[in-house]
Chain A
Amino acid sequence: MLHGLVVAVILGWAFIFRTHGLNWGEQASNAGAIQATMVASLPLPPTQRTLDTGVLTSEAPSPAPVITKEKTIPPPDPKELAIPEKFTKPVKTAEKAAPEPPKHIQPLPPQPNKAVTGETAGIRVAQSTLQIKNGTASVSVVDRTFGERFAYYVNIVNSKVAQNWYTSEADPTASLGKSTTVVFDINHDGVPSNVRVETPSGSASLDLSAVRAVQRVEGFGPLPQGDHITVEYTFHLHPQ
């Protein structure tokens, strides 16, 4: 009841005292003007006198801090403080049992590639050492095979005999596919001798050509070691 009364009063008031006429910005010949008065200076309040010595209140910038040069501190005199000597126990070290490693890399002696039967290595060492003829090898390890030590000599023997094998001497119909083995000695001066057929091929002409191949060789050059070697040489004639 009361609420309805209040609302009626407000509405009634607004209806009775409502304004009439133009509002701002409406079409009117005498629009309202704003008057401005120019002044030389605004009457600002006077600045307060401040204390110059105060850090926060001072207007003057504070001076830059003075950078002092670094000074090297002279080293202390070693005798200033006496260091008391420590008592150290003597360290007991065991004597080294291992010998010094060799300066040069020692070549690994070739391992025997067949079973050794009753030979004594000691005799071989003495003999082979005496028989070194080329005077160049500083040989102390003699337990080696001739072919490994003097591979180049084997190659020379190989190529020299091969050079002198005239395969046209062998009868092709009888010899093709067959092989013959001849054995010969090479003496200290490198001259072959005592050529004999070890394993005949069954073709006489092939055997003969093999023997002749060796006989044609005048020499292989002096043996680098030893006073003679025996060579077993197998000739094999391939079918063409």
Chain B
Amino acid sequence: MLSQNRTSPIGHTQVSRLAVFLLLLTSAASLQAQDWFKTETSSGVSSIRIAAADFKPLSGDPQTANLKKTFDTTLFNDLTNAGIFDIVAKSMLPQSTPGAPAEMNLQQWAVAPTSAAMVAFGGFSAQGGKVVVNGYLFDAKNLQYPQVLAKQYSVDASEDAARQVAHRFADEIIFRLSGGSQGIAETKIYYVKSGGGGKEIWAMDYDGANQHPITHLGTVSLSPRISPDNSRLAFSSLGKEGFQIKMFSIVLNREVSFSAGGGTNLSPAWDPNGKEIAFSSSRSGDPEIWIADPSGSAARRITSFRGPDVSPVFNPRTGAQIAWISGRTDLPQLYIMDSDGSAVQRMTDGGYATSPSWSPNGQFLAFAWDRKYGPGAPGGQDIYVMEVATKRWIQLTHDGGRCDFPSWSPDGRHIVYANTSNGSASGMKVWTMLADGTQKRALTGPGADMPNWSWK
């Protein structure tokens, strides 16, 4: 998405002038035959137009109707949110609801106004407390061999399970059609929910559904960071010894130990292989970046400059670099360095930068930036994305109030962030958008802050 934007001068218009001929040769050694085909495009790159049919109810169970509605809605939203499809509006779908491949009339779906290149459809039945979903994905332009995907799911009959099944099916479709990148429909977002005088860590599905608390500590907990295997949650919590890094096991559903150090310890960040945690600690006097193992032991200091160093984040692709915020030159700026503290490089040229998040492919940094910081300065704090190699950046949010805490989705196509339209901290909501700044929408009500997208 971003790479397309970045290269917009040579985008669709120019590509459309280029005829690209593709010849594929299956030539497995000498034993296999040489099948070949040839295809051509002269219209450039367009997203796949996909139709999501309402699934056919295969049982008359009254419960089915509600579950099926949940399923249909969730599947439609997942495919819409994926950001890679041109999804056909429900009103343009044919009247028929095929429930099985034999009932599918592809020509109906391939012609205008549907004009779908791909059709997702299937049957939905509930019996004996179980929901059975048969989902199919057909290539509407390949009448001879239309089937791309066929899946069957059997889960408990509940709203949550119906939603999860839709997420799983949507992820399968996205995985097949996006060229290998995983869908995010099954991912979670962890965030801070303020209420009752304290702040607790909450979790929700990527689409904002199923919001539920994780911690019940009765204090102020900040900056949740889920581990790459989704088993543990690191965060910073206010206790007797000030802010300390805490570790919460999602699997055990309880807190596990993490060695406390002196001073204020903030903003943990996971190494992509889950073996190390970087965080900011003032145990040696000045807030510096430290790295410890997931139990908090063997902590070592990485930075040693005057001025605060906070908000570290690992390069998720390599794990060999850390981006962080440093105040060594007065106002906080975005820096990157190797994870041993060498090769420090300043990324932002001014303003007030906070909360970096490194994109999963390592190419981009998202961060909150107030480029004209100071009294009476125009503009405000917005979300920016910078290409690490070139330091070129684009602004993703505009005039929507203060934005902070961007966090990349594991597919690198979405960014979740916190935004307050009126400037008050209590009005903070968690929002999501595509990584090019489009399709913004709020996921939570006010009082939600510091979102962190899970790794997968």
Contacts and interface: CB of A to CB of B under 8 A. Distances in A.
Contacts, number: 159
A152 B148 contact: yes
A77 interface: no
Contacts of A230: 24-27
B23 interface: yes
A154 B37 contact: yes
B14 to A, nearest CB: 6
Interface in A81-100: none
Contacts of B10: 166-168
Contacts of B22: 154, 157-158, 161, 231-234
Interface of A: 104, 107-108, 110, 119, 123-124, 127, 134, 136-137, 144-152, 154-168, 179, 189-190, 216-222, 224, 226-238, 240
B45 A159 contact: yes
A167 B33 CA distance: 35
A155 B49 CA distance: 13
B19 A236 contact: yes
B32 interface: yes
B318 to A, nearest CB: 14
Interface stretch (B137-145, B211-219, B295-303, B445-453): B137-145
B118 A167 contact: no
B179 A167 contact: no
Contacts of A159: 41, 45-46, 179
A170 B25 CA distance: 26
B102 interface: yes
> Which of A155, A234, A236 has the most chain B CB atoms closer than 10 A to its own CB?
A155
Contacts of B23: 231-234
Contacts of B147: 136-137
Contacts of A137: 145, 147
Interface string B172-184: 0001111111000
Interface in B32-59: 32-33, 35-39, 41, 44-46, 48
A221 B175 contact: yes
B17 A158 contact: no
B357 to A, nearest CB: 20
Contacts of A167: 10, 14-15, 18
Interface string B381-423: 0000000000000000000000000000000000000000000
